[in-house]
């Protein structure tokens, strides 16, 4: 009986030691984000770009919707407006080219933190790639590539890694990705 108890204690002891060594390896990965609050202010801007597609074609409404989705993903306020010009609205055909006009507000570091309209903000990660977020498709490399100046000018970003390697009339899984930290309203 004593031998059986010792054996059970030895197994329990070994299991405890294994849990100490293996437990951290099996734990879910954690990400530590900078939760330091930063005073910010909403900055309204009107920016434009020309979309020229060789691989992906959009209807006017489809292009407007996708650009608005990307702006919101980057932290634009919900009242963002996007208008595509020079595309066929009457027949709703996909177009190779369009002039895209945007008007949106995004957060920028406050010039004066004591202003009444200063907003508490924090840096948060954003990623754009095929299926990240879920509404991004594999054929959207040209759009992401052509929106780069608008995104860089329109949003406060840091640690940005912008990759777009678009081959006309070809779609590949890893042809575009954008990873950055952007300024967003602080969570309560």
CA angle 126, 68, 89 (to 5 degrees): 150
Half-sphere exposure of 121 (CA within 13 A, CB side): 25
The rounded average pLDDT for each run of 10 residues, N- to C-terminus, in the chain (188 residues) is 46 42 36 67 96 93 96 96 92 93 96 83 93 83 95 95 86 84 88
Query: pLDDT value at position 35?
Result: 57
**Angle formed by the axes of helices 60-73 and 141-154, to 10°?**
50
DSSP category for residue 30: -
Query: pLDDT value at position 92?
Result: 87
Query: pLDDT value at position 64?
Result: 97
- Which pair of tokens denotes residue 147? 């929106």
Query: pLDDT value at position 173?
Result: 67
């Amino acid at each position: 009986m004593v031998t059986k108890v010792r054996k059970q204690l030895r197994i329990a002891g070994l299991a405890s030691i294994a849990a100490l060594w293996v437990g951290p390896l099996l734990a879910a990965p954690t990400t530590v984000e900078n939760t330091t609050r930063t005073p910010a202010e909403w900055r309204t801007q009107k920016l434009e770009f020309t979309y020229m597609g060789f691989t992906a074609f959009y209807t006017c409404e489809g292009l407007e919707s996708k650009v608005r989705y990307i702006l919101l993903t980057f932290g634009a306020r919900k009242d963002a407006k996007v208008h595509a010009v020079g595309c066929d609205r009457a027949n709703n055909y996909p177009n190779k080219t369009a002039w895209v006009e945007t008007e949106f507000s995004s957060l920028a570091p406050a010039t004066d933190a004591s202003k009444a309209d200063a907003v508490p903000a924090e840096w948060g990660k954003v990623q754009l790639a095929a299926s990240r977020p879920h509404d991004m498709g594999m054929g959207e490399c040209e759009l992401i590539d052509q929106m780069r100046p608008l995104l860089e000018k329109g949003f406060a970003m840091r640690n940005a890694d912008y990759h777009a390697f678009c081959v006309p009339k070809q779609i590949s899984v890893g042809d575009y990705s954008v990873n950055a930290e952007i300024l967003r309203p602080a969570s309560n």
